[in-house]
Structure 1
Amino acid sequence: MPRTLRITTRNATFQQWQALLTNRAKRQRAGEFLVQGVRPISLAVQHGHQIRALLTAEGPGLSRWARELIETARAPRAVLSAELMRELGGKDEETPELLAAVGLPADDPARIPVRPDLLVVAFDRPTTPGNIGTLVRSADAFGADGVIVTGHAADPYDPRAVRASTGSLFALPVVRVPSHREVLDWAGALGVPVQVVGTDEGGPVDLAGHDLTGPTVLVVGNETHGLSAAWRAVCDQIVRIPMVGAASSLNAASAGTVALYEAARQRRG
């Protein structure tokens, strides 16, 4: 069995885990991120992600869920004081039973499985971690094959993104690339025609009026500025979501969710 550490002070090991919650650069250097919550941790193990360490709180015996997960993951384990676990768990009034340090997966679009009805979401320069997590959750719910985050963007492995995904971050590939070019190069090498469909309030075609049943990259723009000029130039079609009322636009993750639902609706039909 993997060895067990006992940590009761804010030593260097604890400080490294603490930094994973707040410092993107340190997540990258360490090649790992910290995962909070029963469902996200369970899905990380279920889907074969690299579990580098499991952190538990000292005190009463562990639940059946925690014991079985520790047995399944067979990762190094650390037992921390309740106070230290509360700091890492992000809830002052609650001590988490279990936390996991998980290895960062490769930012390689080849991780995305290619099916005849491929559906991939490209999120262009998102600035809010919660929006990334929400869109990943929607992509998982509506049968997308992966999410690609492009450009200078918030981090999908920020704790706020991980929580908002409710574990879906581990159920489908999420990849970061520098720009639209890497997405087009990957799609162009698949050997099948892939349409690139952007979403924008000023698009010339209603979302429901465009065929989304074939291989598709669905592009969702930045929360403030929408699609970049580069993405607009390469889209085969830009679609709009019809709206009424006083709202001038939808939240980026909400717009992406609506578009994903429409793609799923058409594909069921």
Structure 2
Amino acid sequence: MPQRITIYSENNEFQHAEVLKRNREKRQKNKEFFVEGVKPIEQVMANRWEVTTLLHDKERSLSDWAKNIIEVSNAQKILELPSELMQKLSDKEETSELIALVRMQKDDLARIPITEPFLTVILDRPASPGNLGTIIRTCDAFSINGIIITGHAADVYDAKTIRASVGTVFSTPVIRVGSPQELLPWLERVKHELGTLQIIGTSAKGTKTLAQQDFKTPTVLLLGNETLGLSAQYKAMSDALVRIPIRGAASSLNVASVASMFLYEIERQRNERD
């Protein structure tokens, strides 16, 4: 049975939830993060992430949905807060009915299934939580194998990232890795198990256009930083650099838009009938 605690002030339990929401270092130290919203919490539950704590407004009647989440969550603690404190924690105009504190999963590349048709996206130093969440949502829509984030990047466990992903961060494996070099043994393993693997970088100066590149074989897609693009190391690792033709005044596209275009083209090619 979970421990039920009623909170009347901004005590240690409240401050713990609040700091997980705003402080990346504390999230990483505690291996725990803040989740708000019906769809994200439903995805937490559906994909069996560990919920450590659930918070709700003690002055508000719980819906059947909230009662069910509390019943099946196996949360260690249920915190009951006055409306004023829930409002301070919530990012929504209408305060969320439930807030969850959730345990991080290990950054283990083994979480990415090596199965065909293989497609994994590697993000090189993504800076924007909004873009990161949108890319995760798009990747989930196309049922790719996994997402890898390398370098100094936006936090996948930032509340803004989770909100932009609409909770799909919990259904698609997202793994954080320090550098491209750390990926080399894993890339070799994928190539060995599948028999072949192409690494495709995205670049405004690519030698091929998106339509010219064949994506029917197992693929790793590299997406660069919003401002700096792909690092030199990733460009060197690429079997091809591919561009999206741009004819307007803009010199480049938003990285989330680039991800959508590439993933759609990959899906289109793989679904073509010979």
Using structure 1 for the length normalisation, give the TM-score: 0.97
Matched with 2:176 is 176
For 1:136-185, what per-residue CA distance to the aligned partner results, in whole angstroms no more than 9, with x for missing partners?
00000112111100111111111110100001100110010011122232
Note if 1:217 corresponds to 2:212.
no
Q: How far off its partner does 1:244 sit?
A: 2.2
Q: How far off its partner does 1:194 sit?
A: 1.7
1:202 to 202, 205, 213: 205
Following the alignment from structure 1 to structure 2, what is the Cα–Cα distance between the partners of residues 71 and 266? 45
Following the alignment from structure 1 to structure 2, what is the Cα–Cα distance between the partners of residues 73 and 61? 19
Q: Which moved more, 1:240-249 or 1:157-166?
A: 240-249
Matched with 2:3 is 3
Note if 1:260 corresponds to 2:272.
no
1:57 and 1:95 in contact (8 A); partners too: no
1:119 and 1:215 in contact (8 A); partners too: yes
Note if 1:78 corresponds to 2:79.
yes
- The 4+ residue runs of structure 1 with deviation greater than 6 A are none
- What RMSD in Å do the two structures reach over aligned CA positions? 1.1
Q: How far off its partner does 1:96 sit?
A: 1.2
Matched with 1:116 is 116
Following the alignment from structure 2 to structure 1, what is the Cα–Cα distance between the partners of residues 60 and 153? 42
Q: Which moved more, 1:38-47 or 1:141-150?
A: 141-150
Following the alignment from structure 2 to structure 1, what is the Cα–Cα distance between the partners of residues 183 and 258? 21
Q: Which moved more, 1:105-114 or 1:67-76?
A: 67-76
Following the alignment from structure 2 to structure 1, what is the Cα–Cα distance between the partners of residues 154 and 226? 11
Matched with 1:128 is 128
Using structure 2 for the length normalisation, give the TM-score: 0.95
1:143 and 1:264 in contact (8 A); partners too: no
Matched with 1:62 is 62
SS at match of 1:202: coil
What amino acid is the match of 1:182? E
1:83 and 1:95 in contact (8 A); partners too: no
Following the alignment from structure 1 to structure 2, what is the Cα–Cα distance between the partners of residues 219 and 55? 39
Q: How far off its partner does 1:90 sit?
A: 1.5
Q: How far off its partner does 1:85 sit?
A: 1.1
Identity %: 46
Note if 1:239 corresponds to 2:236.
no
What amino acid is the match of 1:197? I
- List runs of 5+ in structure 1 lacking aligned partners: none
SS at match of 2:205: coil
Following the alignment from structure 2 to structure 1, what is the Cα–Cα distance between the partners of residues 152 and 83? 37
For 1:226-246, what per-residue CA distance to the aligned partner results, in whole angstroms no more than 9, with x for missing partners?
000010000011100122221
Matched with 1:161 is 161
SS at match of 1:90: coil
SS at match of 2:94: coil
Q: Which moved more, 1:232-241 or 1:72-81?
A: 72-81
What amino acid is the match of 2:82? S
SS at match of 1:189: helix
SS at match of 1:222: coil
